[in-house]
Structure 1
Amino acid sequence: MSDNQGLRLEAVHICLGERVLVALDAHVRRGETLTVMGPSGSGKSTLLAYLGGFLDPAFTASGRVIVDGIDLTRLQAEKRHAGILFQDPLLFPHLSVADNIAIAIPEDVHGRKQRRALAEAALDDAGLSDFGDRDPETLSGGQKARVALQRVLASRPRLLLLDEPFSKLDANLRDQTRQLVFDRARRAGLPVVLVTHDEDDARAAGGQVHKVDPA
């Protein structure tokens, strides 16, 4: 694998006033995960906001974000193609389960029938075949998390950002969902940045760990 591939964070500094929240250099290869750990309020989620292109202007940031040789730093959020999973699955309640995935499929896939077929294949891959016509509110927490993951992957992201997506699941579902997320990220060859305060998340992710100091 070329050194150009994956995610490079070059001299990334994020500050709030005079206080440095994040100072980081890293290379996250395709299929690997960088875990950023710290307690709530330490500023670790600001790194995801910077990578995704939606950092609040209250913060100042410098450094470069490069994916597969493409400098994302000056691109608008929608041009960065960063897939993000949050603590809550954020499924659209007015859409069916399949349509929640289909809405994320890039516009170069034409026709409702083809988009629906891709959404159904994604559900089958997540062990949710025959769930396509369901109301998202009828799903369990673990099922919602799987749909959210498949929606992100359907968008063909350049990188995957994980903002404590396992924290609201019970212990058994947490283990299953971790395994699914990291397996699918490896299979898709995506560089991953996970922020968490949970040591078990970091162990499941493997790879590099960067600790953010408490506020």
Structure 2
Amino acid sequence: MTPGLSLQGVQIDRAGTPLVRIDTHVAPGEVLTIMGPSGSGKSTLLAALIGTLDPAFTLRGRILLDGRDVTALPTRDRRIGILFQDTLLFPHLSVAGNLAFALPRGLPGRAARIEAALAEAGLAGFGRRDPETLSGGERARVALLRTLLAEPKAILLDEPFSRLDADRRAQIRSFVFQTIRARSLPAVLVTHDAEDATAAEGNVISPDGRSF
């Protein structure tokens, strides 16, 4: 078994037009950054990794996670989490309710896990808060915690910092990358921001596999 996320000869085409050509390995705790203009295939690659690729696209190659071939598995069985541009917190649930959504019902110690996660993110006591009362940075932390509580084996980052102001962006970016390294999760970041790529400290490539 090779720990991490392997993209072995991954090729994605649409109507015969090549979009993605990647052959690489992302080690545990490493962040691979994908950069390129709109329409270059960045989001298409993430869809292929998470298991939501539109049938209009053709996927070849293999996606391996800790040596397990997940290429043909449904999304729920891949153990891959994702953070989007929008935090997508449920407005009708409290902060704790949003986090509980990631945990199986009836799981022993569910409430304690949620409180521990909030404390780890510097949000102790926030469980009863309405998500609408949170700052952008606090919402971003809750979204990351919800993803991590589901215990993914890898994580995808779809421009999750783009809606934050400069100060919060740097702070949350640092928190996210430190958490990824601390938990030894392989990660794939899609971004237009060169500062994001620099902060990730990993390889930077385009969807067609060219290195920057």
**TM-score (normalised: structure 1):** 0.93
> 2:22, 2:207 within 8 Å by CA — same for their partners in 1?
no
Contact 1:99 1:116 in 2 (8 A): no
Offset from partner CA, 1:60-89 (integer Å, 9 cap, x none):
111101011111011111000110000000
Identity of aligned residues (%): 58
Instruction: Provide the rounded CA distance (Å) in 1 between the counterparts of 2:22 and 2:104.
Output: 32
SS at match of 2:103: coil
Residue 40 of structure 1 deviates from its aligned partner by 2.0
- 2:137 alignment counterpart: 142
- Mapping for residues 76-155 of structure 1, pairs under 5 Å: 76-106=74-104, 110-111=107-108, 114-155=109-150
Instruction: Output the aligned Cα RMSD.
Output: 1.2
In the alignment, is the contact (CA less than 8 A) between 2:94 and 2:127 conserved in 1?
yes
**Kindly tell me: are residues 186 and 106 of structure 1, through their superposed partners in 2, closer, same or farther at Cα, counting changes over 3 Å?**
farther
Q: TM-score, normalised by structure 2?
A: 0.95
SS at match of 1:66: strand
**Aligned pair partner of 2:157 in 146, 154, 162:** 162
**More divergent stretch after superposition (35-44 vs 174-183):** 35-44
Partner of 2:13: 15
Q: SS of the counterpart of 2:63?
A: strand
Hey, what's the Cα distance between the residues in 1 that align with 2:14 and 2:168?
A: 36
C-alpha displacement at 1:41, in angstroms? Answer: 2.3
Tell me which residue corresponds to 1:188: 183
Match of 1:40 in 2: 38
Q: Which residue of 2 aligns with 1:28?
A: 26
Q: What is the one-letter code of the residue matched to 1:90? A: L
Runs of 4+ in 1 over 3 A off after TM superposition: none
Secondary structure (helix, strand or coil) at the match of 2:162 reads: coil
Unaligned runs of 5+ in 1: none
Give the match for residue 199 of structure 1.
Answer: 194
Q: In 2, Cα distance between the equivalents of 1:172 and 1:148?
A: 19
AA at the equivalent of 1:110:
L
Contact 1:99 1:119 in 2 (8 A): no
